[in-house]
Amino acid sequence: DTGVSQDPRHKITKRGQNVTFRCDPISEHNRLYWYRQTLGQGPEFLTYFQNEAQLEKSRLLSDRFSAERPKGSFSTLEIQRTEQGDSAMYLCASSFQPGRASTDTQYFGPGTRLTVL
């Protein structure tokens, strides 16, 4: 399977714990996006990378959230000191776009569903 993969698919944690999610994009895709989606809402942008550079980060993203893409391939999203409001589906998407324009088609992974107790 050459699609976007995410790990784990489900994560249950207690409030205050740290969690880390991994995303493996489609190979040769240089862009990687992280979104958060809650029930009945569309995906909400969190951050994106072009290769290893993090080009944009949502103003809604607190400093408890951090993302990395050290070698321009897979990415990790870490949430520190989780809160119940962090419970959501975390989606990763990848695309290929040689420039800086935002006209790329994004292919989504299956998501990681986080439940904070």
Partner 1 sequence: GQNIDQPTEMTATEGAIVQINCTYQTSGFNGLFWYQQHAGEAPTFLSYNVLDGLEEKGRFSSFLSRSKGYSYLLLKELQMKDSASYLCAVTGGYQKVTFGTGTKLQVIP
Stretch that binds partner 1, among 18-26, 35-43, 62-70, 74-82 (CB under 8 A): 35-43
Backbone angles phi and psi of 89, in degrees to 5? -95, 130
CA-atom Rg of the chain in angstroms: 14
Given a contact cutoff of 8 angstroms between Cβ atoms, the answer to whether 75 and 68 are in contact is yes
Q: Is residue 78 within 8 Å of 20, Cβ to Cβ? A: yes
> Looking at beta carbons only, is 54 or 80 nearer to partner 1?
54
* 27 versus 105: smaller Cβ distance to partner 1: 105
Smallest distance from partner 1 to CB 16, Å: 27
Q: Is residue 108 close enough to count as binding partner 1 by CB under 8 A?
A: yes
Tell me the C-alpha distance between 5 and 8, whole Å. 9
Binding residues for partner 1 (CB under 8 A): 33, 35, 40-45, 48, 56, 58, 91, 100-103, 105-111
